[in-house]
């Protein structure tokens, strides 16, 4: 319950930032606050709904994931089937990414459309109990619908960024640049998108903590999960992922780009 309250509080904080920036834009442009906020929200909603609906296919293509059959990976399928049954979930698709850096992620807009993916490096690094812990963590993301929560946070953060960009443009090129409060408005419009990004990252981190707890319960092997996470941290710091897209880092159980200075 504590993690849920924290997630809701962070989303509420994003909503307050959204209203703050919308109020500034309304003051600068003379437009109705309702119109300004609604237009920005709808634009962000459309973009993020598209992302939410199609991002799983894009991510699977980006990392050249191959969906494997039970005959190809009987042991992996057996583990996922057992964990999914324990979690009360339909068995997701199972994929392997041809990447040497050990890692794993889950994607899909709902439990019925989910896929769990492990890299070739993870299959080599983990023993069976550690692999169960990692897969339990990913199934926890599916069960908790973290893709939906992440999309909501991204939608608000994107809307804030759009509004702030509009406001900065108005201050630089509009008549409002001569007003006494223009410097204060500009400072707010620069800092608020940064704050929104930090809150969005905090939402992601909060959901990771929740997946750690839930994943340990699903797998029944908290020590194995802790050991796997420690191995992942060491491996990623020594051999960060080459290629890929840093914007997908939140999907992975451990940020695979950390070694190259992201986050």
Query: What pLDDT shows up at residue 130?
Result: 96
Q: What would the mean pLDDT of 90-109 be, rounded to a whole number? A: 93
Question: Is residue 70 among the annotated active site residues?
Answer: no
Q: What is the pLDDT of residues 54-99, one digit of tens each?
A: 778 888 998 999 999 999 999 999 999 999 999 999 999 999 999 9
Instruction: Tell me the C-alpha distance between 203 and 250, whole Å.
Output: 10
Kindly state the tokens that stand for 103. 């890692």
Query: What pLDDT shows up at residue 175?
Result: 58
Top pLDDT among 218 and 163 is at 218
Q: What is the pLDDT of residues 199-255, one digit of tens each?
A: 878 877 888 888 899 999 999 989 999 999 999 999 888 878 887 777 677 788 888
**Over the chain, what is the mean pLDDT?**
84
Q: What would the mean pLDDT of 141-168 be, rounded to a whole number? A: 79
Active-site choice (70, 72, 120, 138): 138
Q: What is the pLDDT of residues 39-56, one digit of tens each?
A: 777 776 776 677 678 778
Helical ranges in the chain per DSSP H:
2-29, 33-62, 74-87, 120-125, 128-143, 146-173, 182-219, 222-238
Q: Indicate if the pLDDT at residue 263 is higher than 50.
A: no
Query: What pLDDT shows up at residue 261?
Result: 39
């Amino acid at each position: 319950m504590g993690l849920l309250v924290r997630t809701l509080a962070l989303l509420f904080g994003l909503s307050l930032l959204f209203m703050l920036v919308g109020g500034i834009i309304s003051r600068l442009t003379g437009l109705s606050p309702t119109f300004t906020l609604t237009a920005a929200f709808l634009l962000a909603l459309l973009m993020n709904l598209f992302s939410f609906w199609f991002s799983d296919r894009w991510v699977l293509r980006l990392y050249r994931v191959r969906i494997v059959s039970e005959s190809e990976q009987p042991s992996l399928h057996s583990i996922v089937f057992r964990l999914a049954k324990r979690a009360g979930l339909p068995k997701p698709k199972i994929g392997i990414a041809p990447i040497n850096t050990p890692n794993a992620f889950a994607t899909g807009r709902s439990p019925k459309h989910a896929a769990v993916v492990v890299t070739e490096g993870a299959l080599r690094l983990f023993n069976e109990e550690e692999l169960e812990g990692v897969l339990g963590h990913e199934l926890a993301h599916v069960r908790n619908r973290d893709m939906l929560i992440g999309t909501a946070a991204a939608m608000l953060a994107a809307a804030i960024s759009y509004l702030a960009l509009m406001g900065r443009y108005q201050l630089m090129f509009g008549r409002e640049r001569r007003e006494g409060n223009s410097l204060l408005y500009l400072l707010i419009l620069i800092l608020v998108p940064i704050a929104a990004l930090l809150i969005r990252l905090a939402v992601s981190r909060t959901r990771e903590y929740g997946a750690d707890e839930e994943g340990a319960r699903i797998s029944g092997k908290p020590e194995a999960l802790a050991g796997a996470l420690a191995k992942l941290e060491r491996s990623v710091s020594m051999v960060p992922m080459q290629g890929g897209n840093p914007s997908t880092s939140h999907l992975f159980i451990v940020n695979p780009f950390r070694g190259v200075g992201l986050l």
